[in-house]
Amino acid sequence: MTDVPVRLVVDRAACAGHGMCYGIAPSLVEPDEQGDPVVLIDPISPAQWDDAHTAVSVCPERALSLVPASSSIDPEESSR
């Protein structure tokens, strides 16, 4: 594991909104009014990496990813 800060990013175009991510990592992701995931914490602290990796791994659409915090990608890169 690295000490490089990371961000959790949602690809809105890929997300199907079935909520497995916020069901398994509610401290990091919550649903908005439409049930779409909203990333709550940016960047992810090292203490939250396990939860973040779990959220990424459960997403059947591969809509979540972890990127370096230095990335210019918006946490909700394809949102609205």
Binding interface with ligand SF4 (CB under 6 A): 10, 15-21, 37, 59, 61, 63-64
Q: Which is nearer to ligand SF4, 15 or 52 (CB)?
A: 15
Shortest Cβ 37–ligand SF4 spacing (Å): 5
Shortest Cβ 60–ligand SF4 spacing (Å): 7
Report DSSP state, residue 18: -
Q: What share of the chain is helix, strand, coil (3-state, %, to 5)?
A: 20, 20, 55
Cβ 43 vs Cβ 22: under 8 Å: no
Cβ 79 vs Cβ 10: under 8 Å: yes
Q: Which is nearer to ligand SF4, 61 or 71 (CB)?
A: 61
Q: Which is nearer to ligand SF4, 43 or 76 (CB)?
A: 76
